Structure 1
Amino acid sequence: MAEQLSELADDRALLGRTSTAERVSDILRSRIAEGFFPPGTRLSEDAIGGALGVSRNTLREAFRLLTHERLLVHELNRGVFVRVLTVEDVEDIYRTRTLVECAVVRGLGEPPYALDGLAAAVAEGELATARNDWKALGTSNIHFHRELVALAGSERTDELMRSVFAELRLAFHVVDDPRRLHEPYLARNRQILRALQDGDHVRAERLLETYLTDSLDRVVEVYLRRVGEDGAGS
């Protein structure tokens, strides 16, 4: 925890003169997504508030916002913890992803599409793979799907899926073999990108739906082995 708090203190400069609960929650959301605070970690108000230089009330409001996003959970007389997802949580995340992401691709209309963000995410994944950095590859996969959602041009959809993808990262932190989880999907990202470059959003949607089904099966397999049928701390 000491190392995490030291790095968290470096984020104090991001708050600037307009320190708000929203900006504190942005910082904590990013740190949770990066795995600095793994699932099940108890978050100390005093330690984190001191590291960021914010008041207890501001921090509590940030905790409340992240609890609403299902990233944190408050346990009576115990404190605030980073959530540990259940299998049911994971299934619901993927159900939401399938509904939204496939609808975005289905509704693209006539090409050409603005695919620079998707291409950049694929390139990011290729670089991570070359470095054998499998957690970075997982991050690039999230970036790919975030850019896919952005093709809808909807701020509301982007905001919704930002929370969904952040929650998904909680599941990834439980995985004991990130290479096995993430590596096969780089090629699938390329296939989806290629289909969209060809203007074939029907094929892209079909590839995406299969991708999400297979990814869900793999993550659930990990959860049943590592967390258990009912999960923990949720």
Structure 2
Amino acid sequence: MAEQTGLAGDRVLLGRTSTAERVADVLRERIADGCFPPGTRLSEDAIGGALGVSRNTLRESFRLLTHERLLEHRLNRGVFVRMLTIQDVEDIYRTRRLVECAVVRGLGNPPHAVEQIAAAVAEGRAAALARDWKGVSTANLHFHRALVALAGSERTDELMRSVFAELRLAFHLVDDLRGLHEPFLARNEHVLKALESGETATAEHLLAAYLDDSRRRLVEAYGERTAAGPDPG
């Protein structure tokens, strides 16, 4: 009974944590969308007022996003959106290669549920026709999130959600989004066709080469961009 009484007293913490997680979800999406570019200082007063949440709730949200490596706390300066290093980008792609290729390799017998992957391919084509290169970037990430979802693992989905959100921090510092993302639209289709045909070994081979090329392109573009100026924070 004593243990139950103690847990009952923690109800308020559950509500607070839930709110903090919802606020973190909002901020994560805004960071991914580029509303808060890398190096931006996040104002507790402005954000807390806009969302109508307490300072404690907002700080808990900041803590969650710091744990995901999207934010960083700078002593006596505040909380900032992280500026990724080239080493960060390299590590993100190591993680992506390990997870995404393993998902494809572990697929069972066809047919595979590739509807969401096909939808992301169509989304990318439509964005390219509209010359919406940020939209192409988003569609490409939707493609990879749908690919990871083939594993049917909530834990893997959650892990990669954070990885993809962190990756967007690097994308926001690249000037030529078309040059970075457009070449991979056709490669998305090739991976999709291999999966539709049940050729998982081919799909894995295509995906591994795809991720290696993507890493090289991003490291080159990101390195040029970060070398052009100091940390805006």
Pairwise mapping of residues 7-18 of structure 1 onto structure 2 (< 5 A)? Answer: none
Quote the residue 1:105 is aligned against. 104
What is the deviation of 1:232? Answer: 4.6
What is the deviation of 1:222? Answer: 1.1
CA contact (8 A) 1:19 1:54 kept: no
Unaligned runs of 5+ in 1: 1-17
Quote the residue 2:154 is aligned against. 155
Pairwise mapping of residues 55-74 of structure 1 onto structure 2 (< 5 A)? Answer: 55-74=54-73
TM-score (normalised: structure 2): 0.90
3-state SS of 1:20 partner? helix
CA contact (8 A) 1:86 1:232 kept: no
Q: Deviation per CA, 1:128-178, whole angstroms, max 9, x where unpaired? A: 001000000000000000000000000000000000000000010011000
Q: Deviation per CA, 1:68-96, whole angstroms, max 9, x where unpaired? A: 00000000000000001000000000000
Unaligned runs of 5+ in 2: 1-16
- Count how many residue pairs are aligned between Structure 1 and Structure 2: 217
Mark the CA change 1:46 to 1:19 in structure 2 (over 3 Å): closer, same or farther. Answer: farther
Identity of aligned residues (%): 72
CA contact (8 A) 2:40 2:232 kept: no
CA contact (8 A) 2:191 2:203 kept: yes
Quote the residue 2:13 is aligned against. none
What is the deviation of 1:223? Answer: 1.8
CA contact (8 A) 1:45 1:56 kept: yes
CA contact (8 A) 1:87 1:224 kept: yes
Quote the residue 1:44 is aligned against. 43
3-state SS of 1:99 partner? helix
Alpha-carbon distance between aligned partners in 2 of 1:123 and 1:22, rounded to the nearest angstrom:
32
Quote the residue 2:141 is aligned against. 142
3-state SS of 1:74 partner? strand
TM-score (normalised: structure 1): 0.90
Pairwise mapping of residues 125-204 of structure 1 onto structure 2 (< 5 A)? Answer: 125-204=124-203
RMSD of aligned residue pairs (Cα, Å): 1.7
What is the deviation of 1:228? Answer: 3.2
Q: Counterpart of 1:66 in structure 2: which amino acid? A: L
3-state SS of 1:227 partner? helix
Alpha-carbon distance between aligned partners in 2 of 1:174 and 1:27, rounded to the nearest angstrom:
21
